[in-house]
Amino acid sequence: MANPFGALGDLQKLQQQAQQMQSALQLEQVVVEKNGVKVTMRGDQVVQEIEVDGVIENRIGEAVNEAVKKTQELAAKKLIEISTQQGQNQ
């Protein structure tokens, strides 16, 4: 008989790996300059700074970060909905 709690252990392992990857990505940084705009972003998709024609515009970065957060929340909600529907169909 298979261990019904084996999947739980796998889930915990995946969660730990995801947390490790998230921590590692926070330490990485990407800088893109194009058409007078310079964007500095962490590997975990958090905007650290936006500079437009030499002027730092953190308001733009804050708005982008909020938009990214909302899309991540939306994706998580959709994933839960899909998972719930698939669980009911089995």
- Banded model confidence at residue 46, pLDDT cuts 50, 70, 90: very high
Q: Which of 37, 45, 51 is nearest to 64 (CA)?
A: 45
Give the pLDDT confidence score for residue 36 in this predicted structure: 96
Match 């310079």 to its residue by tokens. Answer: 38
Which whole number is the average pLDDT over 45-70?
95
Three-class DSSP category at 90? coil
Domain ranges of the chain: 28-89
As a whole number, mean pLDDT of residues 24-50 equals 94
| Count of C-beta atoms within a 10 Å radius of residue 50 | 20
